[in-house]
Each structure stands twice: as structure tokens, then as C-alpha cells.
């Protein structure tokens, strides 16, 4: 078995010196100019003390069984909402609200696995980059008549990229240039094929 001390995983351990990455203890976390005890380098800092997040969990005992329904997972807690997917009554502890509605933990996990919750997606494909790369590859291989398939793939990715960039609120200027080049590549490929057919026909005559 591998030595756990040798594992390359580097977990985040909290505030550190931005110069040398040495972990800062509570004494060194303050507002103003901080001099790192390890590297002796200084940096400007603004320290915060975020209050711990407290959930208001209403108990069924406090409101009475007639006033409130019990949570499906925590019998003592009063339900505050129902899962949008399965309708299960859930308390504030179970309420997985990611801005698109309330879900119970089981439904949230399933939707996240299926990538159905956009706001909970943490990994996705960058279609704009894919469109750019296929367009450039098409330019390189256009002399081998591969410009047309590459341009088609580039335009396909560009279409998806437009949707993605719009959803993210980013500029689409770069992608428009990619589309123009992909169209030129496509038309150029067609012209090349047409010219070759014409040339062959002329030679045959």
C-alpha cells in the first residue's frame, strides 16, 4: 500500500501566506500589513470573521403536530417545504436549495449525477475552445481536403459555444471570428473540389 504521506493530494487548509504558501495561524490573520513568519515577505491583508451559518430548524414539538408536518428524514423536525422532484416533505436541514428550487438530498444527488441542475454543475466542456481548435486544425489540413469536415465540426461546436457563452454572459466576438474562418474554410474546400472536377473534366476532353 502506498505511504499516505507520499500521496500527491494537496488539500486546502485555510489562509496561508500568498508568497510562500506557509499556513498562517490565527495570530497572523489580521487586517493591515502582515509579515510572513516563514518567508519574511509582507503583504496587505483584510481579515474577516464570518459568522457560522445557522439554520433555523423548527421542531414539531415546538409547533405541535397539527400545525406542522414532520420531515421525512428527521421525525423531530418540522417540514418547511416539499421536494420539487419527489414531493417528499423536508426540513431546513434536508432542503437542498441551489437557486433553482428545493430538492431532498436523494433527488439532489440524482439530478447532479445526471447534470440536470445547471447551477450545481461544476464540470463541463468548453465548446468555444473546441470550435477554435477544430477550425485551426481545418486550416492546417485544408490542402488534404479535410477543411470541409473540420469546418463542419467547428461550426457544430460553435453553435453550442454560442449558447454556452450567452448563458455565461461572456463576449461572443471571438467565436464570431471562428465562425467566419470556418465558413471560409468550408467554402474554400468546396471551391477546391469544384476546381479539381473542372480540371479533370477539361483534361479528359
Partner 1 sequence: MTPASRRMIGRNAGLMTRELIFETPDAIEVESREGYEVTRRRVLYEEVLLVTFHRALGTPYVVFMTVMTSLFGGLALIFLLSIHEPGFAIAFGIVTLPFLIPLVIRLALKLDLVTVFGRRSKAVIRFPFRKRRAREVYGRICSRTMEVQRAMVEAEPVAAPIEEPPLPPE
Binding region for partner 1 (CB under 8 A): 12, 14-16, 18-19, 24, 29, 34, 41-51, 53-54, 56, 59, 61-62, 64, 118-119, 121-126, 129-130, 164, 166-170
23 bridge partner residues: 16
Residue number, 144 or 173, with CB nearest to partner 1: 173
The DSSP secondary-structure symbol of 33 reads E
Q: Considering the complex, state which of residue 86 and residue 116 has its C-beta at the smaller distance from partner 1.
A: 116
Q: Residue 59 has which C-alpha cell?
A: 421542531
| Euclidean distance between CA atoms 102 and 46, whole angstroms | 35
Shortest Å distance, C-beta 66 to partner 1 = 12
Q: Which C-beta is closer to partner 1: that of 43 or that of 195?
A: 43
- Spatial distance between the Cα atoms of 171 and 37, rounded to a whole number of angstroms: 43
The helix (run of H) or strand (run of E) holding residue 32 is strand 32-35
Q: Least separation, in Å, of the C-beta of 141 and partner 1?
A: 19
Minimum CB separation from partner 1 for residue 109, in Å? 18
| Nearest approach, Cβ of residue 105 and partner 1 (Å) | 19
Spatial separation of the C-alpha atoms in residues 165 and 159, rounded to whole Å:
10
Cβ–Cβ under 8 Å, residues 136 and 119: no
Query: Nearer Cβ to partner 1, position 53 or 205?
Result: 53
Amino acid at each position: 500500500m502506498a505511504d499516505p504521506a507520499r500521496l500527491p493530494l494537496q488539500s486546502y487548509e485555510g489562509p496561508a501566506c500568498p508568497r510562500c504558501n506557509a499556513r498562517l495561524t490565527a495570530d497572523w490573520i489580521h487586517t493591515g500589513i502582515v509579515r510572513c513568519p516563514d518567508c519574511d515577505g509582507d503583504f496587505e491583508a483584510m481579515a474577516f470573521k464570518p459568522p457560522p451559518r445557522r439554520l433555523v430548524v423548527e421542531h414539531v414539538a415546538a409547533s405541535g403536530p397539527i400545525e406542522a408536518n414532520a420531515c421525512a428524514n428527521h421525525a423531530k423536525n418540522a417540514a418547511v417545504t416539499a421536494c420539487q422532484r419527489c414531493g417528499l416533505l423536508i426540513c431546513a436541514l434536508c432542503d437542498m436549495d441551489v437557486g433553482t428550487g428545493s430538492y431532498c438530498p436523494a433527488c439532489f444527488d440524482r439530478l447532479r449525477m445526471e447534470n440536470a441542475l445547471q447551477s450545481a454543475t461544476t464540470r463541463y466542456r468548453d465548446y468555444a475552445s473546441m470550435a477554435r481548435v477544430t477550425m485551426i486544425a481545418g486550416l492546417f489540413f485544408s490542402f488534404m481536403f479535410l477543411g470541409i469536415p473540420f469546418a463542419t465540426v467547428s461550426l457544430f461546436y460553435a453553435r453550442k459555444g454560442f449558447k454556452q457563452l450567452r448563458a455565461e454572459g461572456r463576449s461572443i466576438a471571438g467565436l464570431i471570428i471562428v465562425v467566419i474562418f470556418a465558413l471560409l474554410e468550408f467554402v474554400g474546400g468546396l471551391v477546391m473540389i469544384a476546381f479539381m472536377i473542372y480540371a479533370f473534366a477539361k483534361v479528359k476532353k
